[in-house]
């Protein structure tokens, strides 16, 4: 038995109505593949807002605080030099490196964060072997239903998808 089935829909309205109908019938393990981002589909799937901005802020802020503390520890505490009657810990001297480290690590977080949060480290997935799935990058909307979903019943689910407007229902081909 396959671990998921995929249904192709011709447009955004069709997939949104299908998702709403499936969610009313108790389906929870749904995933959508679309040629462009759609707030309506995301709302129908019940997705929460992304945690990525908070992750970027935390990583950047932690890097900035860490950079400042490292500079203070090395220059102001371990090896204090009095040059020109200035105090060993002069905060303005540390601002540039603090800012740069915050920006650098925020950039790292904004690059690697979507890879981690979106589980994009998989270079290939069975879904990509589905006949006709290449249309998800051009003009079709695909809906994935996990067979481990408690509401899944093989023939009933296929019938429900075709009634909801699916142009075809496919099973991903397993890897050879």
Write out pLDDT tens, residues 86-129.
787 888 889 999 999 999 999 999 999 998 887 777 777 778 87
Is pLDDT of 156 > 70? Answer: yes
Q: Output the CA angle 22-171-158, nearest 5 degrees.
A: 35
Least confident of 61-65, 68-72, 138-142, 171-175: 171-175
Nearest residue to 25 (alpha-carbon basis) of 156, 131, 173: 156
Every domain of the chain and the residues it spans: 4-49+127-170, 52-117
**Residue 154: its H or E element:** helix 154-163
Give CA 171 to chain center in angstroms.
24
**What average pLDDT score do residues 41-70 get?**
94
């Amino acid at each position: 038995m396959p671990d998921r089935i995929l249904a192709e829909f011709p447009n955004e309205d069709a997939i949104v109505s299908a998702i709403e109908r499936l969610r009313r019938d108790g389906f929870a393990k749904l995933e959508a593949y679309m040629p462009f981002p759609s707030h309506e589909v995301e709302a129908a799937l019940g997705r929460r807002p992304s945690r990525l901005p908070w992750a970027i802020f935390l990583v950047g802020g932690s890097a900035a605080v860490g950079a400042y503390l490292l500079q203070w520890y090395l220059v102001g505490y371990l090896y204090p030099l009095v040059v020109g009657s200035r105090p060993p810990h002069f905060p303005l001297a540390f601002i540039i490196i603090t800012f740069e480290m915050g920006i650098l690590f925020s950039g790292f977080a904004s690059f690697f964060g979507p890879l981690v949060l979106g589980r994009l480290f998989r270079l290939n997935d069975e879904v990509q072997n589905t006949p006709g799935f290449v249309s998800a990058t051009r003009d079709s909307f695909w809906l994935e239903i996990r067979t481990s979903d408690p509401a899944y019943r093989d023939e009933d689910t296929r019938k429900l998808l075709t009634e909801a407007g699916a142009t075809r229902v496919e099973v991903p081909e397993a890897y050879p």
